[in-house]
Amino acid sequence: MVKGSRASSSSSANYARQWSPLTLATLRNIRERPQQKCNKRKPGSTVIFRDQSDYGYGWLLPGWVAEERRMRTGRRYTYYYDPWGRQYTTKREVLYGIVENAKVQLFNPVTILGGIFVSLDQWHANWCGRT
């Protein structure tokens, strides 16, 4: 089950999360990744997925997901995933990845984002706020 909540809300346990289609596609890609020893969930830890609609994550592009892992010791690890399910460990890596992907996408007439075909014109219109 995928968890998601708004930060610092006393009623967050009752919050029913509505994910965007791009976020759902990314979560599916993350789940389908081959499990690695370092990515296994530790006993007593909690995992929360967040997207650009969550407080503090508005800088993420549509389809990008942040995963917060909280250990029993209180330590928090944050991992970021692009729409294809590739993992990034820092915000700096994410921003670099966004710039590099944008350079590649400018030369492709059609881009596949999380299994959804998006033409460059659609992507640019959505990015600029035009629909």
**Residue 73 and residue 61: Cα distance in Å, rounded?**
31
Of 45-59, 65-79, 105-119, least confident by mean pLDDT is 105-119
Give the global pTM: 0.61
Determine the pLDDT at residue 34: 73
- Above 80 in pLDDT, residue 66? yes
Model confidence band, residue 13 (pLDDT cutoffs 50, 70, 90): very low
* Cβ-based burial of 64 (10 A; exposed 0-12, middle 13-18, buried ≥19): buried
* Cβ-based burial of 100 (10 A; exposed 0-12, middle 13-18, buried ≥19): exposed
In this structure, what DSSP letter does residue 129 have?
T
All residues at 6 or more sequence positions from 16 whose CB lies less than 8 Å from its CB, including other chains:
none
Domain segments of the chain as ranges: 12-127
Of 45-49, 50-54, 96-100, least confident by mean pLDDT is 96-100
Residue 56 vs residues 6, 59, 68, 91: alpha-carbon distances, Å: 10, 8, 12, 12
Q: Report how far Cα 12 is from the mean position of its chain's Cα atoms.
A: 20
